[in-house]
Amino acid sequence: MQAHDEVSFDPDPVIPPAPRTTAAGLEAWLSGMHDDEPLDQGEPDIVASTEPAAMVTPDPAEIGPVNAAEALALNTFSTPRKLTGPDGAELIVDPERNVYHFETTSLKPLAPLLQQSASAWTPVYSETMHAARTANPAQPLERLRWYAGLIATPGILSRKLSRTERYKLSGWPETEREFPKHFRIAKAMLKDPATADEITAASGMPYEEVVDYINGCHAGGRLEVAAAAQDPETAPGPSRRERLFAVLNKPLFGR
């Protein structure tokens, strides 16, 4: 069969939106500046208003995971789930046993699976779970969560963290062989609690890599958040009762 309709090409194709999983694209999307659908250009004979539209900034807490990696890093499910990669490889996580099953112990081959949409996670039933346990040895789920946090939002702190908070590793890190550059970041984070910017300066590593490592350690349960230091000028003073007891407890000659 031959088509007789003429095919016309649009000289001005619509540029697709930037991927959400890049630092610039994700920041724009989270700030309300990035739309999934292209803007309606309207009729050509209508003059658009020159008044800027009000920008609505969405609350990150109301936005679902941007990919499968963030869904895992945020611990959004507690029952077994499965991801199937473009090449047919299967990743099965079993939160009930705190393990995961995959065909290799390397982490980097998991990137194509974890960079899929968060909706790519599907439930796992007993027969599939039994087959996975037989085919691939169990590995610690904490390790997989660490990697998921590492790659979920490149160059952007997790929505549960803040650039002004101070962080420290909870113990000597088990740095992965695939990521030897993380040793310098880990070494800096074993000292006093510090912000992401301070860790960047102390380690000499790029800010984006520091942020990714912090995200990974947070997802893997290896991060401690230091209590915020209180400003002496704004800190509340002792109450009236506390002042009274302080006076009464002083020796007579010291009153």
Assign 14 a pLDDT band (cuts: 50, 70, 90).
very low
Domains of the chain and any CATH numbers: 68-147 (no CATH), 155-225 (1.10.10)
The answer to whether 204 and 184 are in contact (CB under 8 A) is: yes
Under DSSP, the state recorded for 231 is: P
**33 has a pLDDT exceeding 80:** no
> Where is pLDDT greater, at 58 or 243?
243
108's torsion region: left (phi>0), alpha (psi -120 to 50) or beta? Answer: alpha
Query: In terms of DSSP H, where are the helices of 153-206?
Result: 182-189, 196-203
Burial state string for 50-84 with b = 16 or more CB within 10 A and e = fewer than 16? eeeeeeeeeeeeeeebbbbbbbbbbeeeeebbbbe
Write out the two tokens for 98.
């705190």
Compute φ and ψ for 121, nearest 5 degrees.
-65, 130
3-state helix, strand, coil in the chain (%, to 5): 35, 10, 55
Place of tokens 């499910």: 77
**215 has a pLDDT exceeding 50:** yes
Q: What is the pLDDT of residues 68-95, one digit of tens each?
A: 999 999 999 999 999 999 999 999 999 9
Query: How many C-beta atoms surround the C-beta of residue 4 within 10 A?
Result: 5
> Where is pLDDT greater, at 139 or 240?
139
DSSP 126-154: HHHHHHHHHHS--EEHHHHHHHHHHHHST
Nearest partner of 176 among 200, 197, 158, 149, judged by Cα: 149
DSSP E strand stretches across 36-123:
81-84, 90-94, 99-101, 122-123
Average pLDDT over residues 21-25: 48
Nearest partner of 205 among 171, 169, 179, 240, judged by Cα: 179
Q: What is the pLDDT of residues 121-165, one digit of tens each?
A: 999 999 999 999 999 999 999 999 999 999 999 999 999 999 999
pLDDT of residue 171: 83
Q: List the 139-140 sheet strands across, edge first.
A: 122-123, 81-84, 90-94, 99-101, 139-140
